[in-house]
Amino acid sequence: MECRFIKCHGSGNDFPLVDGRALTLSEADWTQLARALADRAGPVGGDGLLVLTGRDGDAAFGMRMFNSDGSEAETCLNGLRCVARAGFEALGIDRATARLKTSRATVAAAAPLAEGVYTVEETAGPATLDLARWPLTGAGERLVDAPLAMLPTDRRFTAVAMPNPHLVAFVDRVDEDELVRVGQVCEGAPDWLPNRANVSFVEVRDDATLFVRTFERGVGLTDSCGSAMAASTYAACLTRRIAFDRDVTVLNRGGLVRARATAAAMVTLHGNATWEWEGVVDVDLSEARAGNLRILHRHDDEVAAWARVAAAAR
């Protein structure tokens, strides 16, 4: 099949984005398409595949997000901003309710984070601490700033669903080797965590700045994970490391977002939705392989604008 897409990113979390409103693919085909397009060894590459879907009740459009291994995630807040931009441009609107796999979120075009940076405000939640919904067994009904005996570390974790599952540990300094070891245990889908989980190590830089590094379920280490930044912000407020209802800068390897969490467990992010380039590629779904890439348009000004933001964040 021939597939047209936009290569985009939210805070360095990069994806091919497909308008799926007129596509009729089986679930197996979507899995294969994600594996083909997101393959880092292929012509496109990404942390996963984003799909713009059609109206559903009060939702003007929806999003599906497939990880690079073909599994489908409940949400992806960095990706949602990109899908929201595509939905806004397709429908001629600037705010909407968006349908996610298991929840809804509100999205709106927002004032730019910096000159030349297309910015979207998104509000998701409520976050939940109920471990039975993951499920995560053997740790009680909830886990807040406490060790998890099944992991190869004595770090203290807070378990938050956003609505995808996150384990958040606050550290003085991120140790990536340790993060990978913990992440790989969760990625193995042990009996106590059958649906796996995202794992984040978080540095509290000051009372309004976090740095988040994430091992993402189905992907591995990522430059950025939007739902992890939201979960980390809420966990930081819950454990009184920062205050609820305060604007926070959340730094990551790909740049930053602005975040605010409420005591009602809602989290709002302001972040970029940057178009990098647009292209078309031939995909062999049976082999999950893409080839014969043709680049149709490059968005060099947007890429440069975000590069300045990311450099300043570092």
| Closest C-alpha among 232, 235, 262 to residue 247 | 262
How many angstroms separate the CA atoms of 204 and 185, rounded? 25
Other beta carbons less than 10 A from residue 44's beta carbon: 22
Side chain identity at 301, as an amino acid letter? D
Pairing between strand 95-99 and 104-110? antiparallel
How many angstroms separate the CA atoms of 152 and 217, rounded? 17
Contact in structure between 105 and 121 (CB atoms under 8 Å): no
Q: Which of 76, 82, 186, 237 is catalytic?
A: 76
Q: Which of 3, 8, 186, 225 is catalytic?
A: 225
Contact in structure between 225 and 67 (CB atoms under 8 Å): no
Is position 76 annotated as part of the catalytic site?
A: yes
Contact in structure between 228 and 214 (CB atoms under 8 Å): yes
Assigned token pair, 275: 């178009």
The secondary structure element, H or E, covering residue 304 is: helix 300-313
Is position 225 annotated as part of the catalytic site?
A: yes
Other beta carbons less than 10 A from residue 283's beta carbon: 22
The secondary structure element, H or E, covering residue 300 is: helix 300-313
Contact in structure between 72 and 1 (CB atoms under 8 Å): no
Catalytic residues: 76, 225
